[in-house]
Structure formats: structure tokens, C-alpha cells
Amino acid sequence: MTLLNQKHATIEAAIATIPDGASIMVGGFGSPGTPFALLDELLAQGQKHLTLIKNDANEPDIGIGRLIRAGRVDRLITSHIGLNRVAIEEMNQGRLAVEMHPQGLLAEKIRCAGAGHYGFLTDIGLGTEIAEGRREIECDGQTWAIEPAIRADLALVHADLADAYGNLVYRGTAINFNPLMAMAADRVIAQAFRVEAPGHLPPETIHTPCAFVSQVVRVDEATSEQGRRAHVI
């Protein structure tokens, strides 16, 4: 883990630490919370054979949609890709391996990895085709499915505010998967619109404590390339 006083990084340096073949969690539900600037830098630097873990596939020309269109993603672990016709086409043509999970199970599998557990037991999906291939066990007279946790090499997250130690504060519905992923990956790169000196953020407002964050990058809120990006639909 990066030392506290060495986390504030440039976007180029932070993304340059990502190797080909990495598994990467990407925050966001649709556009809010998607770390657009980090993803665009990843596109520019050229890493390939990536496994991405994200709730959705964004839309074809933004966020991970650009990486998928550029053929840089081998595998996507997700919940719903209905807004990205390119991702659906890549999946149907066999060029993109897609693993789908019910959204709440995907969130919980990531939360579980972040809490340091192997997995959890659930009754969600029993009696449906989601249950096919899952291991089931009997506990206290009831059937449960075993859901293993999902971890990753890296997480790319978007926060509204950060400090230079990497403490993070999210805003609105941009929270979504970000705090879960920030705990479930070996290395965490956060982008934020403001990076304050330590002490500026009230301790009780911190969503993700800096212990989980490897590097923090300031991005410009005012430009559409770096800041928030509008949902098309």
C-alpha cells in the first residue's frame, strides 16, 4: 500500500501502474459515479486483455463503452448491459465474455470481498436459472446457495471530494458501487473533483477511509472530458 504522504498522483502515473490482463473494478451505475477521466486515460495508454467488473457497460461511446468498442476488454462481469448495443453485439459475436449476476448479488459479492470473507449464503435466485451451477447447502433446515466473493487487482472509483491521504466522499447517486469496490481490490485509484489537504474533510463525513485507497487523482469538474458526463437516455 502506498504511504499516506505519497498518494496524490498524476492521472498518467496512476494509470501507468495498470498492467495488461488486469482485473479492474469500475464504479458507477450508468454515468453517475463512473470514473470517466481514469477510463479515458486507460484507453489512451493502451492496456489490453482486461477483465472489467462494473454494474453496467455504460453506453457505447462513454466510459467502459469506449474500452469495449476498442477491443480492449476480454471479459465483463456485470448485472445489466441493456444500454450498450455494442457490448451486446460483442457478446453475441463471442468477442466479449460476459458474466451476469443479479445486481444485489453482484454488489454483495464485492462487499463481501471488501470485508475479507470468502463468500456468503443466500436464497436469492433459488428456483430460477440463475441457480444453475451454484453450490447449495442445507443450514438449519433451509437450502442456501453459496455465492463466492469477487475481488480484483484494481478498482477505479469516482468521488466528489478527497483529501491527499485518499479519504473519499461521494455524492448523490454517484455512490452506488464505489465504496464497495474501493474495499475489494488490491489497489485502488480514485478520481475526485477536489483533493483537499488532510484535515479539511470532517472525519464523520468520510465514506471510504484512506486505508483502502492507493492513489488519488484530481480531475477537472468543469470539462465534460474529465468531469460528469450526461446520460444519453
Partner 1 sequence: MSSDQERILARAAREVAPGQIVNLGIGLPTRLFHYLPPEMEVLVHSENGVLGCQPLVAGGEPDLEMIDSGGAYIGARPGASVFDSALSFAMIRRSRVDVTFMGAFEVDQQGNLANWKIPGKFSPGIGGAMELAQKVETLVVLCSHNDKHGQPKILRQCRLPLTAPRCVTLIITEKAVMQVTDAGLEVLDIAEGLDVATLRAATEADLIIDEERLGRF
> Contact residues for partner 1 (CB under 8 A)?
29-33, 55, 78-83, 88, 98, 100, 102-105, 107-108, 110-111, 123-125, 127-130, 160, 171-180, 228-231, 233
Cα gap 170→179, rounded to integer Å: 8
Min dist CB 201 to partner 1, Å, is: 18
DSSP 8: B
Comparing CB distances to partner 1, the nearer of 32 and 60 is 32
Q: Which is nearer to partner 1, 16 or 100 (CB)?
A: 100
| Least distance CB 6 / partner 1 (angstroms) | 28
Our CA angle for 47, 64, 210, nearest 5°, is 80
Kindly state the smallest distance separating residue 55's Cβ from partner 1, in Å. Answer: 7
Residue 155 has which C-alpha cell? Answer: 478498482
Nearer Cβ to partner 1 (9/149): 149
Phi-psi region for residue 172, left (φ > 0), alpha (ψ -120 to 50) or beta? left
- Let me know: does 41 contact 13? Beta carbons within 8 Å: no
State the nearest-atom distance from the C-beta of 203 to partner 1, in Å: 19
Residue 82 or 202 with smaller CB distance to partner 1: 82
Contact indicator for 155, 185 with CB cutoff of 8 Å: yes
